[in-house]
Amino acid sequence: MGLPIHFVVDPQGWCCVGVIFFIWLYNTVFIPKLILFPRFEEGHVNAPAILAYYIASFFCVVSLLRASTADPGRLQDSPKIPLTEKEFWELCNKCNMMRPKRSHHCSRCGHCVRRMDHHCPWINNCVGEDNHWLFLQLCFYTSSLVVIL
C-alpha cells in the first residue's frame, strides 16, 4: 500500500518537526547514556528493557516521518462526482471546489481534506482520512516510549 508523499510548505510546521526530531535524537543518544546504561551496569535495568526502548524509539521516528509526509486525503482539483452522490457534496466557500460533506478546508495547507480531524503542527500535516491511522501510530509509539522510560 504505497502512500503518496505530501509536503506542506509551512516554516512554523517545519520548525515543530525539527524540534520533535531534535528531542528524539537527544533522547536516543543522551538519555540511555545518562540513565539506562548506568542503571544497567548497576543491575537495576535489564537488557530487554533497553532493547524495547530502542525499538520504540525507532518506530517513533519512522511513524513521525510517515505521518508528516503522507497525503491526508487531499481532494483532487476536479473530482468526479457520481450522480447518486450529488446530494452528499457541497461547495467549499474558500477554494470554490466541490467536496464531500465531512470534508474541511485547511487554512494552513490551502486545500480541502476528506474527513479532516485537525492540522497538527507537530507533524506539519493535516490529520485526515488517509493518514489518521499513521497519526495514531505516532501517538501509540510515543506513549510506549514514555512508558518504557
Cite the active site residues. 120
Q: Looking at this protein, which amino acid is placed at residue 51?
A: L
> What b/e string do you get for 17-34 counting C-beta neighbours within 10 Å, with b at 16 or more?
beebeeebeebbeeebee
- The DSSP secondary-structure symbol of 70 reads B
d(CA 148, CA 31): 12
User: Across-strand partners of 113?
Assistant: 74, 104
